Amino acid sequence: MHRLLVALLMLPNLTACVHVNVHGDPSAYAAENKIRVATYNTSLYSDEDGGLIRELEGDSAHARKIAAVLQRVRPDLVLLNEFDYDQAHRAADLFQQRYLEVPQASGGEALKYPYRYLAPVNTGVPSGLDLDGDGEVGGNGRARGNDAWGYGLHPGQYGMLVLSKYPIDAARVRTFQHLRWSAMPNALRPIDPASRKFFYPDAVWKQLRLSSKSHWDVPVQTPGGATHFLVSHPTPPVFDGPEDRNGKRNHDEIRLWSEYISPGDKPWLCDDKGRCGGLADDARFVIAGDLNNDPIDGDGSHEAILELLEHPRVMRYATPRSEGGAEAARAYAAKGIEHRGSPAHVTGDFGPKAGAMRLDYVLPSTGFGLIESGVFWPPTASEDAKIADGSDHHLVWVDLSLE
């Protein structure tokens, strides 16, 4: 672990040669057998059921900024985290038709994605169980959210949306919304340190779902063949008590991807259609999402994210960076909020208590060629800074060669 930490701390020296170009034309990338993959926590959610739909039906300055960023970076394949899910897919329709496909003044040309994937998530779905240990099931506000399968004030809050220029093989998509946490070998079952008893009684633990939103394996047919887009949004490792139930869940949600891409039989790893086992050994993939865990700083256990970064099947490449992130991190350091990670590697600004950290990841498998990467976080003096504040997270992108 010590050698791994040292290696990560040295990464700033490895990234000096990475140049950022966010004006790429996706059609040119296809012609050159290249692909730009991205993840973006958009903060396009509402505390009210249907609230995002109503916002998008109007003229949402927030959505226009998010669309402008996407139009500037122009990824071929992108995961949007914190995009509220609705069964009729109305919010996704509105965002694509009224924002992405309309040129934004500070963005660029209209951006069309002929393929997408979205599905139900665990956030806001009542469990019928007392998951927060307050002696009551459900309730109002936060109490209700705490007893949902994943924290949320209504079903679909903080959902996920995959947009793609290339065809998605919907019949082969695997979702793990219902996978039980207890099914994972050596799961980190929370313990109340005061009583030294398990926080979740056996009857609850046996039913509790691992994924706070969902984990998806979305096969995408790129010009270089099938690529499995492995996407998720683990719970933040905070907002709990001394039992650290969210911290342990975050760890195991991240660890699920390490298990999924590792060799060997995994009869416990069964998707929502009952198909069991991990990813084929020869399959190419890209892991993406707001994983809510910095490899060095912040709350939570870092072991799972470090294990994923160092997995033999995950490409080693210089960490994506930005000038704006470095600027923000240094400003926090001047106020006494100092972190050990490189200032240039942060992907989000989380206020005066947490500062800036690296929580968002695009992790390609070996087998791709790396071209370049970056975080869309312009410095405050840049004109682009006007569109980069639509979310507390910033878009992370990687350009890959498919040959």
Q: Apex CA 103: angle with CA 370 and CA 116, to 5°? A: 55
pLDDT per residue over 287-330, tens digit each? 999 999 999 999 889 999 999 999 999 999 999 999 999 999 99
Query: How far apart are the C-alpha atoms of 82 and 213, rounded to whole Å?
Result: 10
Q: Which of 269, 240, 239, 236 is nearest to 250 (CA)?
A: 236
- For 72-104, give the DSSP string: HH--SEEEEEEE---TT-HHHHHHIIIIITS--
163 strand-pairing partners: 78, 116
Output the pLDDT for position 307. 98
Q: Kind of pairing, strands 34-44 and 77-83? A: parallel
Answer for the pair 25, 74: CB distance below 8 angstroms, yes or no: yes
The pair of structure tokens assigned to 264 is 């060997």
pTM: 0.92
Output the pLDDT for position 32. 64
pLDDT per residue over 55-70, tens digit each? 999 999 999 999 999 9
The pair of structure tokens assigned to 147 is 């007893």
- What are the extents of the domains in the chain? 34-121+156-401
Query: How far apart are the C-alpha atoms of 174 and 269, rounded to whole Å?
Result: 11
Burial 190-216 (b: 16+ CB within 10 A, else e): bbeeeeeeebbeeebbebbbbbbbbbb
pLDDT per residue over 237-293, tens digit each? 999 999 999 999 999 999 999 999 999 999 999 999 999 999 999 999 999 999 999
Percentage of the chain beyond pLDDT 70 is: 92
Arithmetic mean of pLDDT over the chain: 92
CATH number assigned to the domain covering 34-121+156-401: 3.60.10.10
What length does the chain have?
Answer: 403
Rounded to whole angstroms, the maximal C-alpha distance in the chain is 62
DSSP class of residue 368?
B
Confidence check: pLDDT of 38 > 90: yes
226 strand-pairing partners: 221
Which of these ranges, 175-179, 211-215, 352-356, has the smallest mean pLDDT? 352-356
Query: How far apart are the C-alpha atoms of 80 and 70, rounded to whole Å?
Result: 10
Which of these ranges, 6-20, 24-38, 350-364, has the smallest mean pLDDT? 6-20
In the block, residue with structure tokens 């924290």:
151
Confidence check: pLDDT of 27 > 50: no
| Mean pLDDT along residues 209-232 | 97
| Mean pLDDT along residues 103-119 | 93
Confidence check: pLDDT of 344 > 60: yes
Query: How far apart are the C-alpha atoms of 111 and 320, rounded to whole Å?
Result: 24
Confidence check: pLDDT of 14 > 80: no
Answer for the pair 243, 196: CB distance below 8 angstroms, yes or no: no
Choose between 32 and 313: higher pLDDT: 313
Strands of the sheet containing 160-164, edge to edge, are 115-117, 160-164, 77-83, 34-44, 396-401, 369-375
Confidence check: pLDDT of 26 > 50: no
